[in-house]
Structure formats: C-alpha cells, structure tokens
Amino acid sequence: MNNAQGSRHVAMVGCDKAQAKAWGQRLQQIGCTSAPFDSSADFLSAVTNGAPFDLLLVVLKDEGAWPVLTAMCKALRIPIFLVVNALQRDLLNEVLAVTGNDSPGAGIDFAVLPVDDFEVELRVREALRRNETLLHPLSVSALFGSYHFLGSRKVVVHHGSEIRLKPREFELALLLFRNAGRLLEREWLLASLWVDSRIERKSRVLDCCVANIRRKLSLHKESEFVLHSVYGRGYELRHVPGSAGLPAMADSGFPDTSNEPTWLEETERSRA
C-alpha cells in the first residue's frame, strides 16, 4: 500500500475485479490509495495488525460479517461507505435504526446498486471530509468572500460578527458555499447530511435547516451571496455579480470538490 504523505487509504472489501479497478482508479484521482481485500476476514486481520485506513468501502455480500466490521470500524473511528442491493436496503435501515450512527468517525453512508463510478467518488470524498471534520475540527477553516467558517466552534465570522450554527446547519452551509453556483438536489443533500436517519423527500427537516442558514447568515436579496430555493429540486447558493470576488477556500488537505453534485444533473440529462 502506498504510504505517500497526505494520501488517504481506502480499504475495499467485497468488490469484484472490475469494481476494484474502476473505483480504485477513480479514488486515485482524488489522492486516495485503495487496498482491495478478498474477504472481511482479510481486512480485519490487516487492521488488527496495525494497517491504517481512513475509510472502508464494502460491497455487502457476507451479511454475517457486518456486525464485526461495524464494531471494528466504530472502535477505530473509520467511516464506512456501503454498497448494497435493493433487497439489503431494508435490512440496513433496520440495523442503522437500532445501532445508531453517532460515534465520531464511525459514520455509515450507503448507496444501492447500480452505482456509477462518479457517485462512488462523491460519497467517498464526503465521508472522508466529514470524518476529518469530526476528528480534527481545528483543521476546518474556509473563507468565501466575507464569510469565514471556523469548524472548531461551528462559527461563521461575517463582517466581524460571530454567527453560531448548529452542527448540521454548519455542515450544510459549508456544503452550499463550497458548491456556490451549482444546484444541490434535495435527495443528494439528505443522503449526504442525514445518512444516519430515514428522512423522506417530503420531510421539512431540510427546508427548516436551510431557512435557519438563510436567516442567520443573511443570504437574501442584496447580500454578497443569495440562497435560492428551486421548487421541486433543491437549493442553490449564488454569488451576486458585482460584489466582492470569491476567494479560494483555505487549504484543508482535500482536493477541490466544487463539482460534487454534477453527476445528478448529468444523470437527469441522460434520462431526458
């Protein structure tokens, strides 16, 4: 396994040869090294012997090994991205409802087959970044125009005033600013920020969170940034032309992710 400085190590369990090759190449493009394992037992043996991993990507085949995998990852604070088939989805929802998903660094995200290479990359990047935020909150510092995000305190400094956000509001606001100028679909936002809950599309929890962010950060007309609702689709944060430029985000060790939701728009166009 490549131990290049700054590289994130992703363990891959249950992937066939085609998946391991395609996903491994995709992850390499975002600075990750992948280590495929033939079985859950091989992965558990590796971590028991001290092999370091930043994320576990599992194509769920051996359901009997799932409790052991999750217990090990929770203990080591390794997030999990799980790929399941349609029949396994209900089982997974039941397991998550019982076990919870609130341990720092032990978040579980999942997608249902078929899943394309870009979505795998997207979910892995978000899981890694969320885990980095939880384990090393002082490392999260981002500047967008006059908005300075300080992850250590879940505070946004705007024109000298400190605005305190709830943890979920802070994550959502940071996601919106990182993707300014792009439409973020409701399903994508719910899947990215509420991975531990069974939130339905019609739920108002996302809308309430957005409303709080818009009010607290003054993201309304005549502001530097305006948060727009796109009926039936999602939300878009727009940088107002003529206002101050949009400086680059402070380096957090992650590659630029400004194109994260693109796969949703591309998928929609391909279905048209």
Residue 91: the pLDDT is 67
- Give the percent of the chain with pLDDT over 90: 26
Whole-Å CA distances, 122 to 54, 71, 111, 257 = 15, 25, 11, 9
Burial class (CB in 10 A: 0-12, 13-18, 19+), 255: exposed
In a domain, 1, yes or no: no
β-partners of residue 59 are 83
Same domain, 161 and 266: yes
Rounded CA separation 215/206 (Å): 14
Same domain, 78 and 149: no
Q: Round the average pLDDT of the chain to a whole number and report it.
A: 77
Same domain, 121 and 144: no
Same domain, 130 and 142: no
Segment 163-203, tens digit of pLDDT: 999 888 988 998 899 888 888 888 878 877 775 555 555 66
Same domain, 169 and 191: yes
- Give the percent of the chain with pLDDT over 70: 74
Same domain, 149 and 172: yes
Confidence band of 19 (pLDDT split at 50, 70, 90): very high
Average pLDDT over residues 72-81: 86
In a domain, 241, yes or no: yes
Domains held by the chain: number = 2
Same domain, 50 and 149: no
For residue 195, the domain's CATH number is: 1.10.10.10
For residue 122, the domain's CATH number is: 3.40.50.2300
In a domain, 148, yes or no: yes
Residue 212: the pLDDT is 94
Residue 6: the pLDDT is 54
Same domain, 233 and 160: yes
Residues with Cβ < 8 Å from 51, sequence gap 6 or more?
A: 1, 35
Same domain, 32 and 118: yes
In a domain, 2, yes or no: no
Same domain, 159 and 49: no
Domain that includes residue 182, residue range: 138-271
Of 107, 247, 100, 262, which Cα lies nearest the Cα of 171? 107
